[in-house]
A and B are shown apart, each in its own frame.
Chain A
Amino acid sequence: MFCGEKKLLETERRVKANDREFNEKFQYATNRIHTSKYNILTFLPINLFEQFQRVANAYFLFLLILQLIPEISSLSWFTTIVPLVLVLTITAVKDATDDYFRHKSDNQVNNRLSEVLINGRLQSEKWMNVKAGDIIKLENNQFVAADLLLLSSSEPHGLCYIETAELDGETNLKVRHALPVTSELGADISSLAKFDGIVACEPPNNKLDKFTGDLSWKDNKYPLNNEKIILRGCVLRNTSWCFGMVIFAGPDTKLMQNSGKTTFKRTSIDRLMNTLVLWIFGFLVCMGVILAIGNSIWKHQVGDYFRAFLFQDEVGKNPIFSGFLTFWSYIIILNTVVPISLYVSVEVIRLGHSHFINWDRKMYYAKKETLAEARTTTLNEELGQIEYIFSDKTGTLTQNIMTFNKCSINGRTYGEVYDDLGRKTEINEKTKPVDFSFNPQADSKFQFYDHSLIESIKLGDPKVYEFFRLLALCHTVMPEENNEGKLIYQVQSPDEGALVTAARNFGFIFKSRTPETITVEEMGKIVTYQLLAFLDFNNIRKRMSVIVRNPEGQIKLYCKGADTILFEKLHSSNEELMTVTSDHLSEFGGEGLRTLAIAYRNLNEEYFKEWFKLLEEANRVFDKRDERVAAAYEEIERDMMLLGATAIEDKLQDGVIETITNLSLANIKIWVLTGDKQETAMNIGYSCNMLTDDMNEVFILSGHTAAEVWEELKKAKEILFGRSTGFTNGYAFCEKLQELKLGSTIEETGYALEANLQNEFLEIACICKTVICCRVTPLQKAQVVELVKKHRKAVTLAIGDGANDISMIKSAHIGVGISGQEGMQAVLASDYSFAQFRYLQRLLLVHGRWSYFRMCKFLCYFFYKNFAFTLVHFWFGFFCGFSAQTVYDQWFITLFNIVYTSLPVLAMGIFDQDVNEQNSMDYPNLYGPGQLNLLFNKRKFFICIAHGVYTSFALFFIPYGAFYNVAGEDGKHIADYQSFAVTIATSLVIVVSVQIALDTSYWTVINHVFIWGSIAVYFSILFTMHSDGIFDIFPNQFPFVGNARHSLSQKNIWLVILLTTVVSVMPVITFRFLKVVLYPTLSDQVRQLQKAQDKARPLRGHKRQPRRTSSRRSGYAFAHQEGYGELITSGKNMRVKNLHPTSGLGKTMYNSTSWIENLCKKTTDTVNSFSLDRTVKL
């Protein structure tokens, strides 16, 4: 844990309410958040310091210092300082802007207002001034400013509702409640101001679901747990106000502690580049040493006798020392093998690619007006190398909208749409939805396409009536009226919302409820049912029931739940209907719909009364109460009559299936990590075709001790390796909380078994086609990512939309946030953001692939170019007495990299593409080279280097041969140093320009302009610098006067340049030609195809994955939390005004204080006992 350091400092936190002096003793962090790095004064020194920490910059600084020493300075200082200053300035400006925006966002958050109780009065205070111990008031829909202890709220019993989407991504409301003693404080400011309780609790940590501590107040100690804490980042909902006492502020809050380190992400190319640069340094030193030794020998054998003409000063006398000096001189000259412009160019290219992403209209989501955004500009080429995608489910794959999609009532399915010929058709925008205008209370957002259902209702089919009546009665939804008097539902689980809304639209409108009654408008007639018992949902029962008495006096039990469970409880007369319905259910399940079976039972008065006594008894005893209550429920939920089944679609975002299919074709493994339950996760797996029935092995890891998980892994392994064919179709479905917990303890205990477990898991998971991890916490998401990162050395991408995905987004190589949703945390932490999951396909297969392709080409060319440029000095060294004489004019050396050759290669790095976007998407296999790192690796690097060395060899030795005994056309001597320099420089510029023209596979106007422009600029600068005028002004700086004119008017020179160019380029052309013809890559083939396509583009049928015919599989999934039944029957969550004093049977089923404890216990139970709910599978 990274807060370990703090733990040493703070072992226990003591906060006293309303007592700033007391709390100041401990110097707790204030609520100010600080993410910026510099301020105006510290910017320059810190930024420069940081910049010179980069090896490259430090190296150039070192070079600059070397150049200032006249003894070894072989190049003027301006050759280094011009680019260095340029680079430093650009980087500094970029850092400054980045930090400016951080300041801005910090300020925005810090200056949010909240109401704080100061000196007995409520005052508006900025968030940053809030301190631990302060009491603050929150209003409905406000963000919580700090981690608070809930004191009191507007709701009865100190309840309040919060939405924790920012923290864990769950959108359903959660209940928090104050201690009874503090909830009595209410909104009474004066008594709140007098409140002086002391909270003693654990030090700041990042565990979102745990809190331990106690409150001492008025000589009493009250234990505190997570149920009494509201965390920063939550939003208060359905609660008009509440008061809370700040316990953790600012950086100590759980949200901040959970946000993890912001690590600087680097791409693998970056790392490779750094290694290569180090190698090049090594190479540079080698060359320096060779030349220095050469110098010593030369000095010894030739130079000393040459003294008459070369002056000899005292330092030059000793050959060894002379060699030493030469070494440094050559280091300076040859430094251009690692040009500083490399780093700048790489940044510029990435920036360009980022803008392409930002400007991509195909990644613009019109509905929410959200553009794709590359928030980090340095990771683009890594997008072309992704091997693993870790995806969140809710809000990322799905829209988090549940729709009532299909149903089966009494053996007949509704919801399919048939065309005139009776064929099943796809539902699209053109399909006419059912018109609900007959029902004034219908929810306009609800759409249903099967008209036969509405006809059945109009015909008054009693089974259909009963079906919808059940949906309207058996749930935990709370009705509310909004400002316009329209009925809205407060739903705890979106599935229920969908069901109740469906019932509403079909004429069974759930109107209101009291603890004892439920009022439903049935086809325009108000009917009030007496609620006799509420048999709550839990994960073992997988069903819920209500027992109601209708106005006619009949007692009925309505039940909905998992088909597997429910079918066992049916009356034997249902056999036939059950077979039909279960066929329907598997059909629904096969389409990835979430299904529930529903049934009812008629009860007679006596039986019910008897049973109710049993239940009350069960409730009274304290020993094993849960078991006895469950047994009682079991007793009455039997011999039920099947009504049918519902199918709810957890709506996938558009194009998710295609995207996932395409990405899998690109050999990218997609793992879904979700906090959801296993069934829901599994359903999504099926609905987005990640799981299919032809996957013949399903491994579910759900053990909850190390040994159990170990066993399960072993079994899975046996299955996999025991059979030779079982490999490819296996997939694992894992409930893996447990072993990750073990994984995290490894760091502390280091047990070999647990380390083994980690490897074992990874080994199996990586063989599997699909991995779905459910019930994972944000931290575990990150751990899974880290695991793959560490052991597979693969490039990972995490995509998510909620705050619970932040840790995962941050720890993956690339984090993608889904934008356009309510919460922005994920986006803020991400490197890329866009509005729809389907854009991921384009981001990876088009932008990522291109970026990678371009970056690799760029690097290859860049290293080639600089080796060709620099090594000429090396060859020349052998002919100039190893004296570190440069081959070129100093101006040429200064300008070569930044003016003459920078733009064409930048244009290639930014615009090049091997195949167009359509083909990139159509042939996902093209993505392969990036994953295998084929386009730029050490081998490629050496090929580039060899190419560069060869070119430099040709560049030097052809002019050398030609100049050996040459004379001008007029007989004048042209074999002088300056002509030689101009010849080689001109050849070099032409050769590298021809080379870039060969490398460019996608020509835009800009490429043309830059390449031709560079050559033109070279010649114009050459002639300018060699002109009389500039020589007259600075005779010492421009000694090459008249040279260009004289040399370049010689036919001889041009013949040399032509020969050099041909010799340099010919082998490359040959090699490439042979490669394309004999061993074409996929990319080459697609290119050829593309050329053919450009002439006549065939219509490509849209690939659509056929829905598979399904095997029997339960589609049961229900996002429901236990405990709400009790809330309803006790009436605790109802507004006082809604409470009608009516008498009923279930009036006081439990005493009023126990339910809260019950609820808390059960909710924590659900959190801890998820692994108990074994899979439902057939």
Chain B
Amino acid sequence: MYYGLSNFYQNHRRYVKSRDDSQLNGDTDSLKNPSKECEPYRKDGDKPIAPCGAIANSMFNDTLELFQMNESSLIRVPLHKKGIAWWTDKNVKFRNPPGGNLSEVFKGTTKPLNWPKPVYELDEDPENNGFINEDFIVWMRTAALPTFRKLYRLIEKKGVLHPTLPVGQYLLRITYNYPVHTFDGRKRMILSTISWMGGKNPFLGIAYITVGSICFLLGVVLLVIHHKYGNRNNSADIPN
């Protein structure tokens, strides 16, 4: 299950560099004194912002819930929120600052302006809280293009026999926190099945078929031309 945003310039230069990787890596100095790149989301008053910068500040915070509509009841489709971030991001790039209790560790810092709650309250699970919250990590991996989708949750396969999402009616419940209409943006929710080469992506297939046929055609044409004209040169006298 993905969420998609369009017309959202996560690749804008000022946006992309507005982060402090040492802070996110759990460096205590950077936590208290974030990099200048984060300006103007570096400090709120005189308290340093954790996590600082525009990327963190604009984190997607709608909640999506999926229900299967039975005749009468709604059955919640189980969504896994762990395992959506890259392994290196989760284990290497993003680290909480050392120390036991997260709320203590982040003491002396303040939450990003747009956030409703501080970073150490993103989740109850300590393995998924603070800087290593996977939703946060996914957001922090900025998209290449203004229209993008990011992995939101996983819907696990139940087995070979049972379809993951059986045919039927589903209900998507969105807790709307994230305004996009100001910049003419669109939000999407995408469900995609994963194959051996990833999610559904028709572009590559079409491109390969096109290029392949062009190559084949060219090959034939060139072969003909070569047979017709190619030998001419071998016998030709070289003027001197």
Would A1051 and B197 count as touching, CB distance under 8 A? yes
Contact string against B for A residues 1080-1113, beta-carbon threshold 8 Å, 1 for contact and 0 otherwise: 1010111011001000000000000000000000
* Interface: B204 (CB within 8 A): yes
Q: Which of A310, A880, A1088 contacts B146 (CB 8 A)?
A: A880
Q: Which of A74, A309, A883, A977 contacts B8 (CB 8 A)?
A: A309
Would A977 and B204 count as touching, CB distance under 8 A? no
Distance from B25 Cβ to chain A, minimum over Cβ atoms (Å): 5
Residues on A with C-beta less than 8 A from B145 are 879, 960, 963-964, 975, 980
Distance from B152 Cβ to chain A, minimum over Cβ atoms (Å): 9
Q: How far is the CA of A665 from the CA of B239 in the complex (A)?
A: 11
- The segment from A580-588, A791-799, A1036-1044 that touches chain B is A1036-1044
- The segment from B63-71, B120-128, B165-173, B179-187 that touches chain A is B179-187
Residues on B with C-beta less than 8 A from A609 are none
Residues on A with C-beta less than 8 A from B11 are 879-881, 883, 885, 977
Query: Which residue of the partner chain A has the closest CB to B114?
Result: A308
* Interface: A613 (CB within 8 A): no
Q: How far is the CA of A1131 from the CA of B11 in the complex (A)?
A: 100
Residues on A with C-beta less than 8 A from B10 are 977
Would A1050 and B16 count as touching, CB distance under 8 A? no
* Interface: A1078 (CB within 8 A): yes
Main secondary structure of the interface of A (DSSP, over half): helix
Would B204 and A1052 count as touching, CB distance under 8 A? yes
Q: How far is the CA of A1088 from the CA of B151 in the complex (A)?
A: 57
Distance from A192 Cβ to chain B, minimum over Cβ atoms (Å): 68
Contact string against B for A residues 296-321, beta-carbon threshold 8 Å, 1 for contact and 0 otherwise: 00000011011111110100100000
Distance from B24 Cβ to chain A, minimum over Cβ atoms (Å): 8
* Interface: B149 (CB within 8 A): yes
- The segment from A56-64, A266-274, A339-347, A1062-1070 that touches chain B is A1062-1070
* Interface: B162 (CB within 8 A): no
Q: A302-B7, A965-B199 are in contact. Are A1062 and B215 (CB under 8 A)?
A: yes
Would A1066 and B215 count as touching, CB distance under 8 A? yes
Residues on B with C-beta less than 8 A from A302 are 7, 9, 183-184
- The segment from A178-186, A451-459, A966-974, A1148-1156 that touches chain B is A966-974
Q: A1031-B92, A1041-B92 are in contact. Are A310 and B12 (CB under 8 A)?
A: yes
Query: Which residue of the partner chain A has the closest CB to B7?
Result: A302
Would B229 and A977 count as touching, CB distance under 8 A? no
* Interface: A1045 (CB within 8 A): yes
Would B144 and A975 count as touching, CB distance under 8 A? yes
Residues on B with C-beta less than 8 A from A971 are 151, 154, 192, 194, 198-199
Would A967 and B198 count as touching, CB distance under 8 A? yes
Q: How far is the CA of A698 from the CA of B204 in the complex (A)?
A: 74
Contact string against A for B residues 80-103, beta-carbon threshold 8 Å, 1 for contact and 0 otherwise: 000011111100110000000000
Q: How far is the CA of A1031 from the CA of B26 in the complex (A)?
A: 13
Q: How far is the CA of A687 from the CA of B9 in the complex (A)?
A: 80
Would B14 and A977 count as touching, CB distance under 8 A? no
Distance from B64 Cβ to chain A, minimum over Cβ atoms (Å): 15
Q: Which B residues from 1 to 40 make CB contacts under 8 A with A? A: 2, 7-16, 18, 20-22, 25, 27, 35, 39-40
Residues on B with C-beta less than 8 A from A310 are 9, 12, 14-15, 54
Would B12 and A1077 count as touching, CB distance under 8 A? no
Would A665 and B9 count as touching, CB distance under 8 A? no
Q: A309-B8, A980-B144 are in contact. Are A961 and B13 (CB under 8 A)?
A: no
Residues on A with C-beta less than 8 A from B21 are 1035-1036, 1039
Q: How far is the CA of A1035 from the CA of B131 in the complex (A)?
A: 15
* Interface: B226 (CB within 8 A): yes
Residues on B with C-beta less than 8 A from A970 are 194
Would A969 and B196 count as touching, CB distance under 8 A? yes
Query: Which residue of the partner chain A has the closest CB to B236?
Result: A1085
* Interface: A1002 (CB within 8 A): no
* Interface: A1170 (CB within 8 A): no
Would B215 and A965 count as touching, CB distance under 8 A? no
* Interface: A1028 (CB within 8 A): yes
Query: Which residue of the partner chain A has the closest CB to B208?
Result: A1059
* Interface: B240 (CB within 8 A): yes
Residues on A with C-beta less than 8 A from B14 are 310-311, 316, 883
Would A1042 and B93 count as touching, CB distance under 8 A? yes
Q: Which of B22, B88, B183 contacts A306 (CB 8 A)?
A: B183
Q: Which B residues from 121 to 166 make CB contacts under 8 A with A? A: 138, 141-151, 154
Query: Which residue of the partner chain B has the closest CB to A1080?
Result: B233
Would A965 and B143 count as touching, CB distance under 8 A? no
Residues on A with C-beta less than 8 A from B184 are 302, 305
Would A309 and B236 count as touching, CB distance under 8 A? no
Q: How far is the CA of A1042 from the CA of B21 in the complex (A)?
A: 14
Residues on B with C-beta less than 8 A from A968 are 198-199
Q: How far is the CA of A262 from the CA of B40 in the complex (A)?
A: 59
Q: How far is the CA of A876 from the CA of B200 in the complex (A)?
A: 24
* Interface: B79 (CB within 8 A): no
Residues on A with C-beta less than 8 A from B16 are 885, 977
Query: Which residue of the partner chain B has the closest CB to A1042?
Result: B88
Q: A880-B11, A960-B145 are in contact. Are A1042 and B86 (CB under 8 A)?
A: yes
Distance from B86 Cβ to chain A, minimum over Cβ atoms (Å): 5
Distance from A418 Cβ to chain B, minimum over Cβ atoms (Å): 34
Would A311 and B41 count as touching, CB distance under 8 A? yes
Q: How far is the CA of A542 from the CA of B76 in the complex (A)?
A: 123
Q: How far is the CA of A755 from the CA of B149 in the complex (A)?
A: 76
Residues on B with C-beta less than 8 A from A977 are 10-11, 16, 141-144
Q: A978-B141, A1059-B208 are in contact. Are A1028 and B238 (CB under 8 A)?
A: no
Q: How far is the CA of A1059 from the CA of B103 in the complex (A)?
A: 50
- Choose among A74, A303, A310, A313 the residue with the greatest number of B CB atoms under 10 Å from its CB: A310
Would A884 and B233 count as touching, CB distance under 8 A? no
* Interface: A629 (CB within 8 A): no
Residues on A with C-beta less than 8 A from B218 are 1066, 1070
* Interface: A1073 (CB within 8 A): yes
Residues on B with C-beta less than 8 A from A1092 are 234
* Interface: A925 (CB within 8 A): yes
Q: A883-B14, A1046-B86 are in contact. Are A308 and B203 (CB under 8 A)?
A: no
Q: A880-B13, A977-B11, A1080-B233 are in contact. Are A1052 and B198 (CB under 8 A)?
A: yes
Residues on B with C-beta less than 8 A from A74 are 13
Q: A880-B13, A885-B13, A972-B84 are in contact. Are A311 and B54 (CB under 8 A)?
A: yes
Q: A311-B41, A1080-B233 are in contact. Are A972 and B8 (CB under 8 A)?
A: no
Would B144 and A665 count as touching, CB distance under 8 A? no
Q: How far is the CA of A274 from the CA of B57 in the complex (A)?
A: 48
Q: Which A residues from 956 to 1002 make CB contacts under 8 A with B? A: 958, 960-981
Would A972 and B86 count as touching, CB distance under 8 A? yes
Query: Which residue of the partner chain A has the closest CB to B41?
Result: A311
Would A976 and B204 count as touching, CB distance under 8 A? no
Residues on B with C-beta less than 8 A from A1036 are 20-22, 35
Distance from A1040 Cβ to chain B, minimum over Cβ atoms (Å): 10
Residues on B with C-beta less than 8 A from A1046 are 86-88
Distance from B167 Cβ to chain A, minimum over Cβ atoms (Å): 22
* Interface: B45 (CB within 8 A): no
Would B143 and A975 count as touching, CB distance under 8 A? yes
Would A1028 and B92 count as touching, CB distance under 8 A? yes
Q: How far is the CA of A1140 from the CA of B203 in the complex (A)?
A: 112
Distance from A911 Cβ to chain B, minimum over Cβ atoms (Å): 25
List 10 contacting pairs A-B, 8 Å CB cutoff, sorted by A. A307-B182, A883-B13, A962-B204, A972-B84, A1031-B25, A1045-B88, A1050-B198, A1052-B197, A1055-B204, A1077-B225
Given contacts A302-B183, A967-B194, A977-B144, 6 further A-B contacts (CB under 8 A): A310-B14, A311-B39, A881-B146, A973-B143, A977-B16, A977-B141
Q: Which residues of B contact A (CB under 8 A)?
A: 2, 7-16, 18, 20-22, 25, 27, 35, 39-41, 54, 57-58, 84-89, 92-93, 114, 138, 141-151, 154, 179, 182-184, 190, 192, 194, 196-201, 203-204, 207-208, 211, 214-215, 218, 222, 225-226, 229-230, 233-234, 236, 238-240
Pairs A-B, 9 closest by C-beta atoms: A1042-B88, A967-B199, A980-B144, A883-B13, A309-B58, A885-B13, A305-B183, A880-B11, A306-B183
